[in-house]
Amino acid sequence: MSLINTDSNAWFATCPKGVEALLSDELSRLGAETTRETVAGVHFTGPRALAYRACLWSRLANRVLWPIAQLDAADGDTLYRSMKDIDWGRLFDPKRTITIDFSGENRNIRNTQFGAQRSKDAIVDWFVDATAQRPSVDRANPDVRLNVRLVRDRAHLSVDFSGGSLHQRGYRLQAGIAPLKENLAAAVLLRADWPGIAARGGALIDPMCGSATLLLEGAMMAANIAPGLARKRFGFEQLLIHDAAQWDAIRSDARARGEQGRAAQLPEIRGYDWDPAVIRRAQENIARIGLEKVVRVSCKPVSELHKPDHRPLPFGLLICNPPYGERIGEKESLMGLYRQLGEAMIREFAGWQAGVLTSDLDLGRATGLRSHKRYALFNGKLATSLLLFDLADNELRDGVPRAPEAAPVLSEGATMFANRIIKNRKRLASWVKREQVQCYRLYDADMPEYSVAVDIYGEYVHVAEYQAPKSISPEVAEQRLDEVRSALPTALAVAPDNIVYKQRSRQRGKAQYKRQDSRGELLTVREGSAKLLVNLHDYLDTGLFLDHRPLRLRIGQEAKGKDFLNLFCYTGAATVHAALGGAHSTTSVDLSNTYLNWLNKNLAVNQLEGGRHTVIREDCQSWLEKAQDRFDLILLDPPSFSNSKAMTDSFDVQRDHGDMVRSAMAVLRQKGQLYFSNNRRGFALDASLQQEFQCEDITSKTLPPDFQRNRKIHCCWIIRHK
């Protein structure tokens, strides 16, 4: 029988994309010992009681999964044998109904229905052989829901501890035309700091409340009501390992807290909508959860919105999820509605905070108000933005908002540049969306007249101007940069304050690392499962070389159980990926205190502090000459040239790379591999290295779609022992 760890304290909570950081914080507050974010979910550890609390108290999770095994699954027969080899009698009895949620494909298992069928057959056959009984399949309301995720030739098997999506609280039986899931509504309220506003006595108003989801989630937060209390069943209740006494104690405690919260003085919570049928549905939802005395809704259009005047409400949160134009109405017809909303916000709610969730930033701008924060969230598969407004320091822009084609008139050159930016963004859009890429190069001197690199960092834009040729006068170069400045806000629909400009000439040695500013502002961005800190202002480089993204992700996939060495580690992005990928240990070597401190911050923000990650300040060649440890995976990414004062000699990658590679190979285990990369144009690998070692040029495999135009940005080899 295959071993499954029924005592495992490892868990995985899924969530909407964009909510991972909030969920990680929530799980930590619930008692998680460790958390690690990935796309659309958070890994966490803790006892079974923690999983019970997560199912009952998480306002953000979709599901809580309990990983119990990783199985061979190269084809359908192998998957069947692996699943049938599990002792299913340790988890549940054959009287329970089951279903399989199967995701992923490989070269032999090409659709999820086939994978689910083979998995189900194996479980049923196991019970028939072991007990002469067969469990039934119930796809709609099973007692036991299993999750199988296929990654290449391995199947990751989990038990769905929640038993169904936790966003279903039980109070909403019917939703409107464009429903907002309950856990996404909770994320919107948390991003808008509703708990803090409520604690200070602030009110909550939704002028387009629909089925009252935002209002009810806000009321449950204010009253400390566990969102899972109204659920009739959880998946773990049908498992043989279920501790009923412990669960009853956790649920009883939650009920007591909820009763205490309902009895407290709660904030004013009001909602409005123009449609009487929608208001009736909202009232039914409110009654179903028993919050009629707390949440009040009435029929009123946005044009007639006024702050309630029965008691003073000096501050609070106005929050709404207006129509997007995606599912309900056309964009042009909604411009006026958003403008009415902006006028009401500034007229009636001065001094308040406000939040608007929309999938179209043009509609958000149509309010006429300036938002000070924007968060990317996903309403199902629909990408949306939560715009936050401080109504204490805001003013309505004059006039009816103009359609995008009425944007400020650009010069001929600026228009040409803007068109190229728009074209590039459209070309990369499907890749960015599919791979969830947050930081990428949008433009790299595509047109010689506009010699800049334009990089996207989430909501920010980083523009590096290359040094103009001597044939271009400073006046002409400045004019072209002005055209870039005028074109980018329009082409990218970003505020000018979110665009950072730097002049970059060709640098040698330490000059490229020279401090340009002293703000010290670190922005957190995401790359795969890693959170990385970048500095857009203080240095010519931001702390993240975007062209090496595929190589970093590759290292993360290959690092599990290995000892990883990162030479010339810079800010340690590759180290973070290796550590998150399950490396047994990481060692990072560099001469710069600035960047090693940065590396330590990158480790900390990913909760990777600890004895397994060693950071060393030393010249790499000197360190290699006396190194005693051996490594399975090495990244060697030296600069093209260096003459640091801390080095006894200068370093030139073309001249000196042979000795450097040999020194690195000396600490590489026999079956290990070294990635050697550099960005020296015209670089040629020493022929003698190719005689001594197995050298494979993988440059083309490490160039991402956003660097296909500039294929000389770097070169890269895998080097192995013969």
pLDDT over threshold 90, residue 59: yes
Contact 575/563 with Cβ under 8 angstroms? no
Give the helix/strand (H/E) hosting 604.
Answer: helix 593-605
Beta strands in 180-225 (DSSP E): 203-206
Its sign, for the CA torsion 123, 125, 128, 131, is negative
Domains of the chain by residue range: 10-160, 182-224+265-390, 407-506, 523-721
Is residue 2 over pLDDT 60? no
From 157, 9, 135, select the one nearest 70 (Cα to Cα): 157
CATH number of 10-160: 3.30.2130.30
Contact 677/548 with Cβ under 8 angstroms?
yes
Q: Residue 376 half-sphere exposure, CB side, CA atoms within 13 Å? A: 16
pLDDT at residue 502, as a whole number: 87
Q: How confident is the model at residue 709 (pLDDT cuts 50, 70, 90)?
A: confident
What number is the average pLDDT over the span 129-155?
94
How confident is the model over 692-716, as a mean pLDDT? 93
| 633-655: pLDDT as tens digits | 999 999 988 765 555 567 889 99
Contact 522, 601 (CB under 8 A): yes
Own/partner contacts of 42-47, CB < 8 Å, gap of 24 or more, are 42/12, 42/13, 42/15, 43/10, 43/11, 43/12, 44/10, 44/11, 44/12, 44/13, 45/9, 45/10, 45/11, 46/9, 46/11, 47/9
Q: Which two tokens stand for residue 705?
A: 């779609």
How large is the average pLDDT for residues 49-67? 97
Residues linked to residue 718 through DSSP beta bridges, in sequence order: 675, 696
Segment 363-385 shows an average pLDDT of 89
Residue 660 pLDDT: 94
* 693-697 sheet: strands from edge to edge: 613-617, 585-590, 563-567, 631-636, 668-678, 715-721, 693-697
**Core vs surface per residue 2-32: b (16+ CB within 10 A) or e:** bebeeeebebbbbbbebbbbbbbebbbebeb
Give the Å distances, CA to CA, from 151 to 109, 144, 438.
11, 23, 23
Concatenating the DSSP letter of every residue in 305-317 gives -----SS----EE
Residue % of the chain over a pLDDT of 70? 91
Between 48-57 and 244-263, two packed helices, what is the crossing angle to 10 degrees?
Answer: 40
Spatial CB neighbours of 181, under 8 Å, sequence gap ≥ 6: 16, 167, 213, 379, 380
Tens of pLDDT, residue by residue over 419-455, are 899 999 999 999 998 898 999 999 998 888 888 999 9
Q: What was the pLDDT predicted at 509?
A: 42
407-506 CATH choice from 3.30.750.80, 1.25.40.10, 3.30.420.40, 3.40.50.720:
3.30.750.80
pLDDT level of residue 539 (50, 70, 90 thresholds): confident
- pLDDT score recorded for residue 413: 84
Nearest Cα neighbor of 17 from 53, 34, 42, 50 is 42
Task: Give the mean pLDDT of 457-465.
Answer: 92
Question: What does the pLDDT average to over 538-542?
Answer: 86
* DSSP string over 439-508: EEEEEESSSTTS-EEEEEETTEEEEEEEPPPTTS-HHHHHHHHHHHHHHHHHHHT--GGGEEEEEE----
**Mean per-residue pLDDT over the chain, rounded:** 90
Q: 273 - beta bridge partners?
A: 299
Task: Return all residues near 606 (Cβ < 8 A) that are at least 6 apart.
Answer: 36, 530, 531, 576, 579, 580
pLDDT at 513 over 80: no
What are phi and psi for residue 57, nearest 5 degrees? -110, -15
Predicted pLDDT of residue 659: 93
Mean pLDDT of 69-94: 95
The string of DSSP codes covering 124-135 is HHHHHHHHS--P
Whether residue 510 has pLDDT greater than 60: no
Architecture of the domain delimited by 182-224+265-390:
3-Layer(aba) Sandwich (3.40)
Give the E-state strand segments of 568-667 in sequence order. Answer: 585-590, 613-617, 631-636, 641-642, 651-652
607 or 178, greater pLDDT: 607
pLDDT (average), residues 133-152: 94
pLDDT digits (tens, 9 = 90+) for 238-256: 999 999 999 999 999 999 9
Residue with tokens 């309990």: 66
**From start to end of 10-97, where are the E strands?**
10-14, 34-38, 41-45, 63-72
523-721: which CATH topology?
Answer: Rossmann fold (3.40.50)
Token pair in block for residue 439: 């930081």
Cβ atoms 148, 118 nearer than 8 A: no
Q: What digits encode the pLDDT tens for the residues 181-200?
A: 999 999 999 999 999 999 99
Instruction: Indicate the range of 154-168, 197-211, 511-525, 565-579 predicted with least confidence.
Output: 511-525
pLDDT of residue 400: 45
Residue 101 scores a pLDDT above 90: yes
Q: Do domains 182-224+265-390 and 523-721 have the same CATH topology?
A: yes
Diameter over CA atoms, the chain: 88
Q: Which pLDDT band, with edges at 50, 70 and 90, does 69 fall under?
A: very high
Q: Which of 225, 374, 392 is nearest to 317 (CA)?
A: 392
Q: Is the pLDDT of residue 30 over 50?
A: yes
List Cα–Cα distances, 425 to 408, 418, 488, 530, 653, in angstroms: 20, 11, 12, 24, 34
